[in-house]
Amino acid sequence: MPGVTVRLFADLRTVFGVRMVDVPLERAPDIACLLGLVCDTPRRWQAVFAEPGVPRREIAVLVNGRNIRFLDRLETKLCEGDEVAIFPPVYGG
Amino acid sequence: MTMDGWMGKVLRLDLTASAASVEDLDREIAEQYIGGIGLGTRYLYDEVDPAVDALDAANKLVLATGPLTGTGAPGANRYMLLTKSPLTGGIANSSAAGDFACAIKYAGFDVIIVEGAAERPVFVFIDDGRVSFHDASELWGLDTEQTEQAVIAATAPDAKVNCIGPAGEKLVRYACVMNDMGRAAGRSGVGAVMGSKRLKAIAVRGTGGVTIADGERFMDAVRRCYEALTDPYVEHFHKHGTPGVLELVNTYGALPTKNFQYGTNPQHEDISGERLAETLSVRTRMGMACPACPVACGRVSRVGAGETATYGVGPEYETIGMFGSSCYTNDLEAVTRANFICNQAGMDTITTGGSIACAMEMYERGLIPEADIGFPLPFGDGEALVRLTDMIARREGFGDLLAEGGYRMAEHYGHPEYSMGVKKQEFASYECRAIQSMALAYATEPRGACHIRGEAQDYAIYSVLHWHITKDRGIEEPLDPLTLDEQPEMVMELQDWFRIIDSGGLCNFMFYLGMDEDQLRDLIESATGIDMGGYPGLMRTGARIFNLEVLFNRRAGITAAADTLPPRMLQEPLPDGPAKGYVAELGRMLPPYYTARGWDEHGDLTPQKAAELGLQLAAGT
Ligand code: SF4
């Protein structure tokens, strides 16, 4: 089942308790649906969203390495095999 | 005249004559150049003929603290080493944090200038105001940890030491200077210059303190800085240190892989910060901190087990990126072993890793015969990596050629195009086709390819958006790393802004973790009593320093033609990752960058701009 792969990084791994989730495409045709699906507890939701429909400014959501801010934001459509990465702020190379 | 923030004194060490002298710090110059990189550049510019051979006794080594170093402001614990670089032939400035930097101030000095060369190995002991020269023949050949211990044993238990290891003694062109058991003034070969002077170590014991002009304002500024550093995500940085970024860099397609042939590494999880924390790190709960640092990003790692286990500081992200991904070993144990060799020998891990990655690619392409190396050197061979790192430090066999740097080695075989760097200094661990601002920053940085004198990665991939550079433009969200919009001006401003951080004597990390330009200005002004002229004045000072570095380079024969990138970056589209198909668009960013700098079309400072920056001394050069 290819679907969409969601990878969580850094401290979000602790919040979500997993590093990776596979989601069938029909349940997550776009980023809004996908985030709604994976942020299924108050703690998870708070880690990603500032308010309903608005992800926290410091959270980076990338589809195949492109930040959704440079795509269609929450409306960014997803395709089979897409990789979605969710990062809290990390600094320091 | 008494001074606050600054100690008001410059110590001159003449190694040829084994003599020391003390001069007053010129207050006017201090106000114009602040300290650290600024003040150090000014001394270098005034005193060193840029045409000298970097390893000649006529070259000098300037150690410059900032007015905030040792004051207790967060992260105010750094000094800068400046000299003419044996790697690039231009200006070298390399900074390190630690007790050693603070001790220089506590001993009563802002700047130490080392000149001449000793006939036999020496170390210098600065005991508050008293200076003594000591025979270091017995120390010659010792590694940096042994040296530090031996020098402390020979001087005072509370002496703080910087020193070179065997790599500096053997004039490896990218030897570094180590202090406080594992902190490095890493890049551009400052350790080779120290070695050429046969100066093994400097020990400093300082028992004084730094006076502050306006204590109340200063303490208030310090409090606000600490408040800015309470972001919960500071915790991640504390826990994982710099390696915590590796997976993000890979996701952006900016992780150098196989000597910058690719921007993503399919095995990145094997070398991530988390993997490091799970496997080799031995102090993850309580990291290592430099003085006055609320973050404590350092960590200790262990390789091997039982009696053969070795412990050391690191590895940092840059080291993992180069040894782990660019050399494609994907093996944290090999990375850490090579890192320990570099620390002990006193050698820059970035250029070591970059040079070996270059040799690996050339070996695989059949451009370096195996007979020259003495063993196979394919990408991914961790054992060969560790072995070669050791050979470089000893200048043994093929290591002798690599000790000249990747560029000179590749040129020796007629293929300098495989050396990934700028001005003969290797790139840091960021692929610049995937971060366009980085391409411009790499190309224009006076000390050669570098990621910390103008951190273009910060706003491009690390979501650092609290500086004037983005705020004043109304930028509230991370910038697309592939965009060229506004990059020429923004990179210029970053370079100038980082000059102030590096002049004040603070750790860069404080700034992406929360502090900003106004807070730094507040600290400098309240500590010294000067008026920097608001944000515009601060940036003008930054520009003055940057331009003086460029002027040093121009006089050393490094023209704007050196503001370029390897053909791979300019012509070969990146084959993978989110930046697939992109080349570095340097040609589109460079002319507007020169215009923004107020330079002519040849990349030279105009007399008008020089006058505007208060660089009268530079006109006509
Ligand atoms: S953040 Fe790290 S490098 Fe900077 S001062 Fe703190 S411990 Fe030292």
Q: Could you tell me if the CB of B492 is within 6 A of ligand 1?
A: no
The owner of tokens 């200048």 is B395
The pLDDT of residue B59 is: 98
Question: Residues of chain B with pLDDT > 90: what percent?
Answer: 88
Residue A57, pLDDT above cutoff 50: yes
**Considering chain B, what is the average pLDDT of its residues?**
95
Q: Are residues B164 and B301 in the same domain?
A: no
What is the interface size between A and B, counted as CB pairs within 8 Å?
87
The pLDDT confidence band at residue B510, using thresholds 50, 70 and 90, is: very high
- Please work out, in degrees rounded to the nearest 5, the angle formed at the alpha carbon of residue B612 by the alpha carbons of B610 and B46: 40
The pLDDT of residue B228 is: 92
pLDDT digits (tens, 9 = 90+) for B129-185: 999 999 999 999 999 999 999 999 999 999 999 999 999 999 999 999 999 999 999
Strands B122-127 and B199-205: parallel
Contact B98, B180 (CB under 8 A): yes
Question: Residues of chain B with pLDDT > 70: what percent?
Answer: 98
Q: Are residues B46 and B162 in the same domain?
A: yes
pLDDT digits (tens, 9 = 90+) for B91-127: 999 999 999 999 999 999 999 999 999 999 999 999 9
Contact B2, B27 (CB under 8 A): no
Q: Are residues B194 and B248 in the same domain?
A: no
Hey, is the C-beta of B429 within 8 angstroms of any chain A C-beta? yes
Q: Are residues B250 and B376 in the same domain?
A: yes
Of B249, B463, B482, the CB nearest to A60: B463
Neighbours of B169 (CB within 10 A): 25
Residue B414, pLDDT above cutoff 70: yes
- Is B414 domain-assigned? yes
Report helix angle B332-345 to B382-394, nearest 10: 0
Nearest to B429 by CA among B348, B538, B521: B348
For residue B548, give the 3-state DSSP assignment. helix
Residue B231, pLDDT above cutoff 90: no
Nearest to B218 by CA among B345, B75, B322, B68: B68
Mean pLDDT of B456-461: 88
C-alpha–C-alpha distance, residues B255 and B258, integer Å:
10
- Is B404 domain-assigned? yes
C-alpha–C-alpha distance, residues A36 and A45, integer Å:
8
- CATH label of the domain that carries residue B148: 3.60.9.10
The owner of tokens 């020259």 is B372
The tally of domains found in chain B comes to 3
Mean pLDDT of A65-74: 94
Provide the H-helix boundaries in chain A.
12-16, 31-38, 42-48
CA of A44 to the centre of ligand 1 (A): 31
CB within 8 Å: B236 and A57: no
The pLDDT confidence band at residue B620, using thresholds 50, 70 and 90, is: very low
Tokens of B529: 């009593």
**Which residues does B432 contact at the CB level (< 8 Å), separation at least 6?**
B254, B438, B439, B442, B565, B569, B584
C-alpha–C-alpha distance, residues A25 and A2, integer Å:
8
The pLDDT of residue B490 is: 96
The pLDDT of residue B327 is: 98
Residues in chain A: 93
- Alpha-carbon gap: B252 to the closest alpha carbon of chain A (Å): 5
The tally of domains found in chain A comes to 1
Q: Is the dihedral of CA B145, B149, B154, B155 positive or negative?
A: positive
The pLDDT of residue B476 is: 86
Among the candidates B372, B400, B426, a domain finishes at B426
- Is A43 domain-assigned? yes
Q: Which residues of A touch B (CB under 8 A)?
A: 9-11, 13, 57-58, 60, 62, 64-67, 69-70, 85, 87-93
- Alpha-carbon gap: A10 to the closest alpha carbon of chain B (Å): 7
CA dihedral B383, B412, B350, B245 (to 10 degrees): -80
pLDDT digits (tens, 9 = 90+) for B390-403: 999 999 999 999 99
- Is B223 domain-assigned? no
- CATH label of the domain that carries residue B591: 1.10.599.10
- Is B177 domain-assigned? yes
Q: Are residues B400 and B500 in the same domain?
A: no
Neighbours of B89 (CB within 10 A): 20
For residue B108, give the 3-state DSSP assignment. coil
Q: Is the dihedral of CA B44, B46, B47, B53 positive or negative?
A: positive
The pLDDT of residue B462 is: 87
**Which residues does B431 contact at the CB level (< 8 Å), separation at least 6?**
B253, B254, B255, B256, B260, B263, B574, B579
- CATH label of the domain that carries residue A71: 3.10.20.30
- Is B482 domain-assigned? yes
Range of the domain at B33: 9-205
The pLDDT of residue A91 is: 78
Q: Is B271 left (phi over 0), alpha (psi -120 to 50) or beta?
A: alpha
The pLDDT confidence band at residue B285, using thresholds 50, 70 and 90, is: low
The sheet that has B9-14: what strands, in order across it?
Answer: B19-24, B9-14, B111-115, B61-65, B78-84, B91-97
Residue B521, pLDDT above cutoff 90: yes
Contact A62, A84 (CB under 8 A): yes
Of B430, B457, B463, the CB nearest to A89: B463
pLDDT digits (tens, 9 = 90+) for B177-197: 999 999 999 999 999 999 999
Q: Are residues B580 and B598 in the same domain?
A: yes
In chain A, residues with a C-beta closer than 8 Å to the C-beta of B245 are: 90-93
Residue ranges with strand state E in chain A: 4-8, 20-23, 49-51, 54-55, 60-63, 66-67, 83-87
CB within 8 Å: A92 and B241: yes
Q: Are residues B242 and B168 in the same domain?
A: no
- Is B521 domain-assigned? no
Q: Are residues B175 and B44 in the same domain?
A: yes
Neighbours of B93 (CB within 10 A): 29
pLDDT digits (tens, 9 = 90+) for B557-594: 999 999 999 999 999 999 999 999 999 999 999 999 99
CB within 8 Å: A91 and B249: no
* Predicted complex: ipTM over 0.90: yes
- Is A36 domain-assigned? yes
Q: Are residues B446 and B404 in the same domain?
A: no
Range of the domain at A10: 4-87
Residue B324: exposure state from Cβ atoms within 10 A (0-12, 13-18, ≥19): buried
- Is A92 domain-assigned? no
Residue of A nearest to B248 (CA): A87
- Is A93 domain-assigned? no
Host H or E run for residue B178? strand B177-179
In chain A, residues with a C-beta closer than 8 Å to the C-beta of B477 are: 57, 69
For residue B350, give the 3-state DSSP assignment. helix
Q: Are residues B84 and B36 in the same domain?
A: yes
For residue B605, give the 3-state DSSP assignment. strand
Backbone angles phi, psi at B301, to 5 degrees: -120, 160
**Which residues does B12 contact at the CB level (< 8 Å), separation at least 6?**
B20, B21, B22, B23, B112, B113, B115
Q: Are residues B390 and B485 in the same domain?
A: no
Burial state string for B394-411 with b = 16 or more CB within 10 A and e = fewer than 16: bbebbbebbbbbbbbbbb
* Ligand 1 atom with minimal separation from the B78 CA: 5
CB within 8 Å: B451 and A87: no
Backbone angles phi, psi at A44, to 5 degrees: -65, -40
Q: Are residues B420 and B448 in the same domain?
A: no
C-alpha–C-alpha distance, residues B123 and B126, integer Å:
10
pLDDT digits (tens, 9 = 90+) for B40-87: 999 999 999 999 999 999 999 999 999 999 999 999 999 999 999 999
The pLDDT of residue B266 is: 98
